[in-house]
Amino acid sequence: MSVRTRVAPSPTGDPHLGTAYVALFNFAFARQREGQFVLRIEDTDRARSTAMAETAILDALRWTGLDWDEGPDVGGAHGPYRQSERLDVYREHAEQLLGSGAAFRCFCTKERLDDVRRQQQARGETTRYDGHCLDMDPDEAADRADRGEAHVVRLNVPGTGVCRVEDGLRGEIEIPWAQTDMQVLVKSDGFPTYHLAVVVDDHLMGISHVLRGEEWISSMPKHRLLYDRFGWQMPVHYHLPLLRNPDHSKLSKRRNPTGLDYYRSTGYLPEALLNYLALMGWSMPDEREVFSLTEMIEAFDIERVSTGGPVFDFAKLDWMNGQHIRRLSPDEFMDRVGVWALNREALAPLVPLVQQRTERLSDLVSQVDYLLGDRRPLSMEDFNHKRLEPADCKRILDHAIRRLDDLQDWSRDTLHDSLRALAEVMDIGMRDFIAPLFIAVSGRAVSLPLFDAMSYLGRGRVRARLRSALEALGGVSKKEAKRLERGYRELW
């Protein structure tokens, strides 16, 4: 049987480092075994999935140098590869589960569920559906559903005993069934949840090995049960360790740049990033550290993946990037600089900002240095302002970060409108409000228009600069962060 792996990102936000990480291992595994690697879009969250995010993910993944044999953009024999286009498939399978009693319809209200959850929490139990609708007569339930009554379909999970599952890296894992929720499989909008869709699709798409993040281990019983109820063989599962922040918590954008766009625009070579990512939990048999994707494929062995959660270390990434840059020939180097930013397409958004302000072409470089390159390091003094105290600056920066994180669209006008609204609710004049942001983004008193600059820099770099500005202001303690968060929430 041929090896088939997949990566299944959800188009709900910016392309994430973690996606590239998981994709890399799936890719290397499949290629090593001369199998196929599939890209599937898991857009079952109607509220949050966007076509824009999907495009961005495909684009970012292409940038890394990974490619896939089947996917929404390249097609394949097991399509469609977008879950929103497979609703009939899920409906059919849900019916099958309903028919065999493996699943049941649930009409409970959100209020009741919240209530049950609260009580369980108070008793110190794992929260779990209490089985309220489990004993309802299936015909009656079907009737009510036919009459259009809102409901979901839940998985019928046993209340006792233990579930044994196998992880390729960890061996056998036992999880009590009582810990496993009677998971919603079909939402009231008719869309499947991840759990139903992933099992159905992995099976139908012939996925032989699942390499995914460790956060899925606790969902294995649900998946195990679904495979059993369908009478399917479960693929071999390998749970990769989670990338960590320096404090060992799960890598998060609040603490570190996690967007692939950040690494791309900051000038990391994709092959260096992949090389570094490969070292997160995996090593070459000969302990070589600098290698190409091709070399990785040749040597890849899933058994050599370690289970401890690796801390993402920027210092080592930088070193790695330097290694790859120095190995380029002068010609390649010039080409790469061009591909990075010095090309017509990338420079175009800068033209309207810069041309009017230019007398000699050499003026250009100093005007855009902070856009193409890093912004200078900041200190407390940079935030001296006639009407704003450092504490005010902190509030502005913190709230701006929160506001910006909620933004769907990253155009200049949206940025402007959104931050103006924030200034208003904070009751700070726009002129003053802008000042600390100017410094944080550009590191200068005089610079190109703020919102254009932010739009050009992109989310990842802007967030990183605002965060670093916050650090320059003395940082934010845990306690302070809580207070700021509350303050922000109370504004709206």
Partner RNA sequence: GUCCCCUUCGUCUAGAGGCCUAGGACUCCGGGUUUUCAUCCCGGCAACAGGGGUUCGACUCCCCUAGGGGACGCCA
Asked if the bond preceding 80 is cis, omega within 30° of 0, the reply is yes
The smaller minimum CB distance to RNA, of residues 301 and 417, is found at 301
Buried b / exposed e over 14-29, threshold 16 CB at 10 Å, is: bbbbbbbbbbbbbbbb
Helix/strand/coil percent split, the chain, to 5? 50, 10, 35
SS3 for 74?
Answer: coil
Instruction: Report which of 259, 252, 270, 261 is spatially closest to residue 317, judged by C-alpha positions.
Output: 270
Which listed residue (110, 253, 386, 394) is catalytic? 253
Active site residue 222: no
SS3 for 209?
Answer: strand
**Among 84, 283, 418, 468, which residue sits at the site for RNA (rule: CB under 7 A)?**
283
The smaller minimum CB distance to RNA, of residues 327 and 402, is found at 327
The smaller minimum CB distance to RNA, of residues 65 and 213, is found at 213
Q: What phi-psi label fits residue 133: left (phi over 0), alpha (psi between -120 and 50 degrees) or beta?
A: alpha
343 scored as a contact of RNA (CB under 7 A)? no
The smaller minimum CB distance to RNA, of residues 250 and 416, is found at 250
CB of 484 vs RNA, minimal distance in Å: 21
374 scored as a contact of RNA (CB under 7 A)? no
384 scored as a contact of RNA (CB under 7 A)? no
Pairing mode, strands 36-39 and 4-7: parallel
48 scored as a contact of RNA (CB under 7 A)? yes
Q: Footprint of RNA on residues 226-245 (CB under 7 A)? A: 241-242, 244
Site map for RNA, 147-186, x if CB under 7 A? ---xxx-----------------x--xxxx--x-x--x--
Site map for RNA, 206-225, x if CB under 7 A? --------xxxxxx------
Alpha-carbon distance 172 to 162, whole Å?
Answer: 12
Buried b / exposed e over 449-487, threshold 16 CB at 10 Å, is: ebbbbbbbbbbbbbbbbbbbbbebbeebeeeeeeebeee
The smaller minimum CB distance to RNA, of residues 48 and 387, is found at 48
**Among 3, 5, 6, 10, which residue sits at the site for RNA (rule: CB under 7 A)?**
10
Q: Footprint of RNA on residues 109-128 (CB under 7 A)? A: 109-110, 113, 117, 121, 124-128
Element (DSSP H or E) covering residue 168: none
Instruction: Report which of 416, 478, 477 is spatially closest to residue 450, judged by C-alpha positions.
Output: 416
50 scored as a contact of RNA (CB under 7 A)? no
> By the 8 A CB rule, do 276 and 317 touch?
yes
Stretch that binds RNA, among 280-288, 348-356, 365-373, 421-429 (CB under 7 A): 280-288
Cβ neighbours, 10 Å, residue 252: 11
141 scored as a contact of RNA (CB under 7 A)? no
**Among 7, 23, 35, 42, which residue sits at the site for RNA (rule: CB under 7 A)?**
42
> By the 8 A CB rule, do 19 and 9 touch?
yes
8 scored as a contact of RNA (CB under 7 A)? yes
CB of 390 vs RNA, minimal distance in Å: 29
The smaller minimum CB distance to RNA, of residues 55 and 121, is found at 121
Site map for RNA, 75-114, x if CB under 7 A? ---------------------------------xxx--x-
Q: Footprint of RNA on residues 308-327 (CB under 7 A)? A: 308-311, 313, 315-316, 318-319, 322-323, 326
Joined tokens for residue 270: 């994709």
Question: Which residues are part of the catalytic machinery?
Answer: 253
